[in-house]
Amino acid sequence: MKAFSRLIALADRIKEPGTIYAHCDLPCGVYDPAQARIEADSIKGCMEKFNSSDDNVFKTRAVVIKEERAELCKHHLWVLWTDYFKPNHLETYPQLHELFWKATKTAGETKKTTDVAVADDLLAQIAEIDRIFWETKK
């Protein structure tokens, strides 16, 4: 009976959670396209190492790492697109949706190839996202 009384007393102190409002996950300034670019640079580096090696074990490792980096690149791009960019940015930069769509699709394409040109395309798309991002931070 004593344990039950303590449980009731504890339940009386627990309140229903309230709603918290914020416009992003953390205060602005934590977002940066550099994270996606670093992953894209890693993808390109893995492709170059894969293409220059004759060691099948090494090549397998390069592919595994490249595919992990491609997923991370896609993740970082989507975080920017879904958490940082807002409707007013799309009004100023109407190409944003298409640019992010292409960049994430290209990041996915890097998982299917060792063609460095695909990685170069991805880096160029991220460079354009980076340019727009920093314009919005002015």
The per-residue pLDDT for 23 is 47
Structure tokens of 104?
């994430």
The per-residue pLDDT for 30 is 77
Burial 102-121 (b: 16+ CB within 10 A, else e): bbbebbebbbeebebebbeb
pTM here is 0.79
What ranges do the domains of the chain cover?
30-136
The per-residue pLDDT for 20 is 54
The per-residue pLDDT for 137 is 86
Q: Among 21, 138, 129, 30, which Cα is nearest to 81's? A: 129
The tens-digit pLDDT sequence of the chain (138 residues) is 666 666 566 566 666 666 655 545 555 557 899 999 999 999 999 999 999 999 999 999 999 999 999 999 999 999 999 989 999 999 999 999 999 999 999 999 999 999 999 999 999 999 999 999 999 988
The per-residue pLDDT for 24 is 52
CA atoms within 13 A on the CB side of 26: 6
The per-residue pLDDT for 71 is 97
Kindly report the CATH class assigned to 30-136.
mainly alpha
The per-residue pLDDT for 25 is 54
